[in-house]
Amino acid sequence: MRVTRREFSKLGAMGLAARMLPVVSAGAQSGERKVGYCVIGLGTIADHFMRGVQGSSNSKITGLVSGHRDKAERIAAQYGVPKSSIYSYEDMDKFRDNKMIDAVYVALPNSMHAEYTIRSAKAGKHVLCEKPMSTTVSEAEAMIAACRDAKVQLMIAYRLHYDPLHLKAVKLIKDGALGKVQTINGAFGFDASPTAWRLNKALAGGGSLFDVGIYVVNACRYLTGEEPVKFTAVTSTIDQDGRFSTMEENVSWTMKFPSGVLATGSSTYGAQMPGYFKVFASKGWMEMSSAYGYDGAKLRASFWGGEKGSPHMEIDEASTEKDPVQFTREADHFSGCVLNNKVPKSSGEEGLRDMKYIEEIYAAAGTVQG
C-alpha cells in the first residue's frame, strides 16, 4: 500500500510548525560560494536541518517544498527565501530552472524518500536524504541509479558519521586501545504517540527498526569497520492498545561479523529507551550514552594501556555541542562534496547496505515486509 503526499497531508501528522528563530549569519566570507538547499517537507527534522544550515559556512536555504503555503511563507521569511522559490509537491519539478537551488534536503516520511529523491535528481539537483534511505532495497537501488544517471551527488543523512565523539569511539577501536572487540550491545527507542505517522506502516515502511533501530545497526558497522554476515531476530507486541495494528512494537536482533564480533540490538516504540552502545573487548570496555540524540552524548571507557598489568586508562568525556551543530556539520560535508565533486562519506551505497540488513533482520524474525 502506498500513500500519496496529498493523503499524508490530510492525516495532519506533521503538525509541528518550525521554530521561528532569527536568522544567524553563516559566517562565510563575502562572495564565497554557498550551496543552495531546497527543503522538501517542513516537519520537525527539517527545522533542525534549517537551523543547522544557519551556522554553515558553505550552505544556505534557498527553496521550500510544502503542502501548506501559509506555513512555508512564514518559514521562508525567516530564512530569506523568496516566495517564488516556494513550491507545492505537485509543481516541485519546476525548480529545475531555479538557479538558486543546487541541492535538496528530503525530510519526508520514509515511504516518500524514493519518489522525491528521484524527482529531484531528474531535475538536476543533488540530494541529501534523511535516513532510513527508503523502505525497500529496490527503492534504494533506484535512488542510487537516478542520481548516478543525472550525475548528481546522493548523501544519506547519517549525521553521526561526522560527530567528533563517535569518531573518537571509532578511533579507539581502530587504534587497538581496547584490544580485540568481542561483543557490542546497543539499543534505542521511545514510547510512540498514537497519532505519529511512524505507526503507519504505509508511511514508515516498518516499525522502530526503520526509525531508531537503524542507528544501532549502523553504529555496530562503523565501530567494527565490518559488514555483518549472519542475523537472528525476534519481534513482539506487548501493548495491545491499537497503536501496533500494522507493525511490531519491539525488535531484538543479533549480528555476527566476519571477525567473530557479535552485536546485539534492540529497538522499541513502547518505552523510553535512551540510545546507547557498549563495546566489550580484550583490554577493557567502552560505552556511549545518549548516543544517537542531537546533543548531550557521553563517552566512557576503561582499558589497560598495553598488556594486562600495565597502567590503567580511563576516559570520561561529554559532548558540549548543542543542537543543531550536528546538522551544521552534516550540511558542511555535503556542500563540500557538491562544490568539489566528491563522493560523500555516507553515500547512497551506505544507506543501501542498511536497507539490506534491515530486510535480513526482518527475514530472520519471520516477519514479511511490504
Helix (H) or strand (E) holding 281: strand 270-281
* Catalytic-residue membership of 131: yes
331 and 248, same domain (yes or no): no
For residue 308, the model assigns a pLDDT of: 58
125, 171: one domain: no
Q: What's the Cα-to-Cα distance from 209 to each of 32, 75, 115, 267, rounded to whole Å? A: 41, 32, 21, 6
Cα separation, 16 vs 227, in Å, equals: 37
* Residue span of the structural domain in which 285 resides: 164-318
Question: Is 359 within the bounds of a domain?
Answer: no
Query: What pLDDT, on the 0 to 100 scale, is given for residue 3?
Result: 55
Residue 338 lies in a domain: yes
Percent of the chain exceeding pLDDT 90 equals 88
At position 239, the amino acid (one-letter code) is D
Give domain status of residue 357, yes or no. Answer: no
Could you read off the pLDDT of 249-306 as tens digits, one per residue?
Answer: 999 999 999 999 999 999 999 999 999 999 999 999 999 999 999 999 999 999 987 6
Q: Is the same domain home to 154 and 169?
A: no
Same domain assignment for residues 10 and 153 = yes
pLDDT for 305: 74
Q: What is the mean pLDDT of residues 52-63?
A: 98
One of 125, 131, 201, 283 is an active-site residue; which one? 131
What does the angle CA 303 – CA 308 – CA 313 come to, to the nearest 5 degrees?
25
Q: Name 89's Cβ contacts closer than 8 Å, sequence gap at least 6.
A: 5, 6, 65, 66, 67
Query: Do 78 and 219 have their domain in common?
Result: no
| Identified catalytic residue from 215, 222, 269, 357 | 215
CATH value at residue 151: 3.40.50.720
DSSP 3-state assignment of 127? strand
User: With helix as H, strand as E and coil as C, how does 203-251 read?
Assistant: HHCCCHHHHHHHHHHHHHHHHHCCCCCEEEEEEECCCCCCCCCCCCCEE
The pLDDT tens digits of the residues spanning 121-171 come to: 999 999 999 999 999 999 999 999 999 999 999 999 999 999 999 999 999
> Domain check: are 212 and 83 in the same one?
no
Q: List, for residues 173-203, the tens digit of each pLDDT value.
A: 999 999 999 999 999 999 999 999 999 999 9
Considering the domain boundaries, does residue 358 fall inside one?
Answer: no
Domain membership flag for residue 360: no
C-alpha cell at 317: 568525556
* Mean pLDDT score, 321-337: 98
Q: Are 157 and 346 in contact (CB under 8 A)?
A: yes
What pLDDT is stored for residue 26 in this prediction?
Answer: 35
Per-residue pLDDT at 312: 85
Within a domain: residue 354?
no
Q: Are 136 and 215 in contact (CB under 8 A)?
A: no
Instruction: Please check the confidence at residue 14 and state whether its pLDDT lies above 50.
Output: no
For residues 130-145, b (16+ Cβ closer than 10 Å) or e, as one string?
bbbbbbbbebbbbbbe
Written as one letter, the residue type at 49 is F
Number of domains in the chain: 2
Mean pLDDT computed over 63-80 = 98
CATH number of the domain enclosing 299: 3.30.360.10
Residue 121: phi, psi to the nearest 5? -60, -40
**Four-point Cα dihedral 35, 339, 129, 235, nearest 10:** -140
pTM of the entire structure?
0.91
* Residue 204 and residue 184 share a domain: yes
pLDDT of residue 25: 32
Question: How high is the pLDDT of residue 367?
Answer: 84
| Residues 203 and 292 reside in one and the same domain | yes
230 is catalytic: no
Asked, for residue 352, whether it belongs to a domain, the answer is: no
Residues 194 and 307 placed together within one structural domain of the fold: yes
HSE-up (13 A, CA, CB side) for residue 110: 29
- Between CA 40 and CA 120 the distance in angstroms is 10
The amino acid present at 85, given as its one-letter code, is: S
Same domain, 303 and 201: yes
Question: Which of 239, 233, 234 minimizes the C-alpha distance to 271?
Answer: 239
**284-289 and 250-256 beta bridge pairing:** unpaired
| C-alpha cell recorded at residue 125 | 539537483
Task: Note whether 66 and 40 are same-domain residues.
Answer: yes
Interval 340-362 mean pLDDT = 98
Cell numbers standing for residue 235: 519481534
pLDDT over 90 at 20, yes or no: no
Q: Is residue 47 part of a domain?
A: yes
For residues 22 and 81, the answer to whether their CB atoms sit within 8 Å is no
Same domain? 47 vs 131: yes
